[in-house]
Amino acid sequence: MKILRTVAEVRAWRAIAGRVGLVPTMGALHPGHRSLVERAVRDTGTAIASIFVNPTQFAPNEDFSAYPRREEADFALLERANAAAAFVPSVEEMYPPGETTRVDPGPIAAPLEGAARPGHFVGVATVVAKLFEIVDPNVAYFGQKDFQQLRVVQAMARERYPRIKVVGCPIVRELDGLAMSSRNAYLTIDERHDALVLSHGLRAAQELWQNGERDPERLRGEVREVVGSVPRVSLEYVSAADPVTLTELRAPAPRAVVSIAARVGKARLIDNELLGVEISELS
């Protein structure tokens, strides 16, 4: 696997690489990331993963400095997944001193994580646009775990990078249901146990849905009740939204995305479940 640290190195590699699948990450890689790389290898033959903790998507009070960084273990995981290259730029390489322009992600970025983390998706859209321009992939892979991020990137690609296909990949979970996340590393053993209630809440909503419930307020209420049973989990929001526009559902609908954000100890965790639609049907 080639380890590329500069834009010039990526461009030289890209010029002779053929069809390429890009997997953007912030590192501290786990089997969720690995599933994206494996899909990229399967689809395109040549996967490049980026590892970059992007400062512009963190607010000053967030965990940019504390975010786990473990380059050697990440390279080992990427090698095992048969990635052809890792792009591991410095902050200066991605944001040359004096460069201040940013990408506006549009209305899809306004609710949910965009409301809870002002400016977050400007940082995401900006760094993904840079990665698209540097790597020029044929396909880029993003996880459903960050569902709104996937939709932000799909909208941006449709409008600004129509030759790049953006593929959403299902959430990889631990055996007990906890969605895999680099931020799970912040949890103590007890907190990790408490955090299970997020996936339990989503599963309860899914069961209601399978029994025919379509009232979005009932779905939200069910998740709130389940998650509320663990007082050490502090719920930030529960949403049942249209999976295309991400606007909150006010009336029964044939498909929905139910999303949660909650704090557990030092970690801020998010999770979601698609109802009545598969991730592969959204583009």
Residue in 33, 120, 193, 200 annotated catalytic = 33
Backbone angles phi, psi at 227, to 5 degrees: -70, -35
* SS3 assignment, position 36: helix
Positions 32 through 51 that interact with ligand AMP (CB under 6 A): 32-33, 35-36
- Residue with smaller CB distance to ligand AMP, 36 or 205: 36
Transcribe 134-163 into DSSP letters. HH--SEEEEEGGGHHHHHHHHHHHHHH-TT
- Residue with smaller CB distance to ligand AMP, 36 or 108: 36
Indicate whether 181 belongs to the interface with ligand AMP (CB under 6 A): yes
- Residue with smaller CB distance to ligand AMP, 32 or 216: 32
Provide the mask over 133-162, with x wherever binding to ligand AMP is found by CB under 6 A and - wherever it is not. ---------xx-xx----------------
Indicate whether 20 belongs to the interface with ligand AMP (CB under 6 A): no
200 is catalytic: no
Measured distance CA(246)–CA(219) in Å, rounded: 16
Indicate whether 169 belongs to the interface with ligand AMP (CB under 6 A): yes
Transcribe 64-125 into DSSP letters. TTTS---HHHHHHHHHHTT-SEEE---HHHHS-TT--------GGGSSHHHHHSTTHHHHHH
Q: Which residue is it, tokens 């970025």? A: 109
- Residue with smaller CB distance to ligand AMP, 170 or 265: 170
Say how far residue 10 (Cα) sits from the centre of its chain: 23
Which residues contact ligand AMP (rule: CB under 6 A)?
25-26, 32-33, 35-36, 142-143, 145-146, 169, 171-172, 179-182
Could you list the active site residues? 33
